[in-house]
Amino acid sequence: MRNDERFEIQRAFDLLPHVVGASWAAVWFRMKGIKKPTKEEFREKTLEYLKTIEPVFESYPNEEAFMEIRKYIEFRKNEEYKKIKSGGNKEIEIRYNRYVDYG
């Protein structure tokens, strides 16, 4: 698969974890009055919200023309989940720090 064929999916996975996952997590903690969640709690809540959009990740048809992009999406999804859990997603960590500093 050429890079230009997966460009849009790459950009989506660059943004979705913090735009959807961390943003919704921060609001959840704020509404619950939890000002200092642990990093692990914040990461888990981020994953919980990111996983709510998994149907989008599985939305391309199970046809030959889409098999490569479907495999790439599955690979990238799993990589992003691992990075979030391990603290390897810098944007999630920035949002965690911002939340605990400014709530």
Say what the pTM is. Answer: 0.92
Supply the pLDDT for residue 58: 96
pLDDT at 3 over 80: no
DSSP 8-state secondary structure symbol assigned to residue 22: I
Report, in angstroms and rounded to the nearest whole number, the Rg of the chain calculated over CA atoms: 15
Supply the pLDDT for residue 23: 97
Supply the pLDDT for residue 4: 76
pLDDT single digits (tens) 24-80: 999 999 999 999 999 999 999 999 999 999 999 999 999 999 999 999 999 999 999
* Helices (runs of H) and strands (runs of E) counted in the chain: 6, 0
Residue showing tokens 């692990």: 40
